[in-house]
Amino acid sequence: MAESGESNKNKLKLYSYWRSSCSQRVRIALNLKGLEYEYIPVNLLKGEHLSPDFLKLNPLGYVPALVDGEIVISDSFAILMYLEEKYPQHPLLPSDLQKKALNYQAANVVCSSIQPLPTQPLQNMAVLKYINEKVGPDEVIPWVQSHINKGFAALEKLLKDSAGKYATGDEVSMADLFIEPQIHGAIKRFNVDMTQFPLLSRLHEAYSELPAFQNAMPENQPDASPSSVT
């Protein structure tokens, strides 16, 4: 059904790239909260994130960016915190302070310790390109794997006493939104041996059964290009 101009204007807009893990975690949150959004693809391989129009949304030139009316937010953590306050349905943070802190910690293990190294497909493309050219193409995968392994080993220890069905209990929470896209990239792109990580493997299995996670998967996005090599 065609939408009226007015309802389209009010709809959330997500600037996303199918394979971006940062975009994936926001897609999961939008799905969990039952928020409809317009998906606006930004092709990183074509450099669309560096276009003058996109740089107006995020001067750093990274996806994702969320537009909610007049409000523009361009960092996945900030977007999740914003969504959590503005759309409190399906809370992403437990009220228990210790569990809440654990969620922040797990999220930051992924986005500050693992990801910037860079260990995500298309994360810090310039750094991957630099390693490829200056150190050698055969070094990229082992180097990335070693950093993912270190972060995953830390997550296994961090979550061992709190995990239930999901990372910090029996409800999906923010930690899960960071963990799943990282595991997905580790398996699909970097051939990480997940048998070393039984807890994360179990969580990955549990996420695969949830529609909010399934619909957010890279391969289920409108701009997905399965033939793409990066």
Ligand X SMILES: N[C@@H](CCC(=O)N[C@@H](CS)C(=O)NCC(=O)O)C(=O)O
162 is a contact residue toward ligand X (CB under 6 A): no
The span of 86-94, 101-109, 117-125, 200-208 binding ligand X (CB under 6 A) equals: 117-125
- Contact with ligand X (CB under 6 A): which of 29, 66, 73, 122? 122
- Contact with ligand X (CB under 6 A): which of 49, 184, 189, 204? 49
Kindly report the backbone phi and psi dihedral angles of residue 12, in degrees, each rounded to the nearest multiple of 5, phi listed first: -65, 145
Least distance in angstroms from the C-beta of 127 to ligand X: 8
Of 120 and 221, which CB lies nearer to ligand X in the complex structure?
120
Of 44 and 106, which CB lies nearer to ligand X in the complex structure?
44
The span of 20-28, 100-108, 141-149, 201-209 binding ligand X (CB under 6 A) equals: 20-28
Kindly report the backbone phi and psi dihedral angles of residue 109, in degrees, each rounded to the nearest multiple of 5, phi listed first: -60, -45
Among 44, 53, 94, smallest CA distance to 72 is for 53
Task: Identify the bridge partners of residue 72 per DSSP, sorted by sequence position.
Answer: 67
- Return the exposure string of 163-202: e unless at least 16 CB atoms fall within 10 Å of the residue's CB, then b: beebbbbeebbbbbbbbbbbbbbbeebbebeeeebebbbe
List the structure tokens of 29: 């949150």
User: Can you tell me the distance from the alpha carbon of 96 to that of 94, in angstroms, rounded to the nearest whole number?
Assistant: 5
Task: Please state at what angle helix 174-188 crosses helix 137-159, rounded to 10 degrees.
Answer: 150
180 is a contact residue toward ligand X (CB under 6 A): no
Least distance in angstroms from the C-beta of 96 to ligand X: 25
The span of 59-67, 94-102, 131-139, 192-200 binding ligand X (CB under 6 A) equals: 59-67
Of 21 and 162, which CB lies nearer to ligand X in the complex structure?
21
- Contact with ligand X (CB under 6 A): which of 28, 44, 107, 183? 44
Give the number of residues in contact with ligand X, rule: CB under 6 A.
17
Least distance in angstroms from the C-beta of 145 to ligand X: 18
β-pairing verdict for 37-41 and 12-16: parallel
Read off the amino acid at residue 79: I
123 is a contact residue toward ligand X (CB under 6 A): yes
Of 64 and 94, which CB lies nearer to ligand X in the complex structure?
64
Please check whether residue 66 is in contact with residue 16, taking contact to mean a CB–CB distance below 8 angstroms. no
Applying CB under 6 A, which residues contact ligand X?
20-22, 44, 49, 62-64, 75-77, 111, 120, 122-125
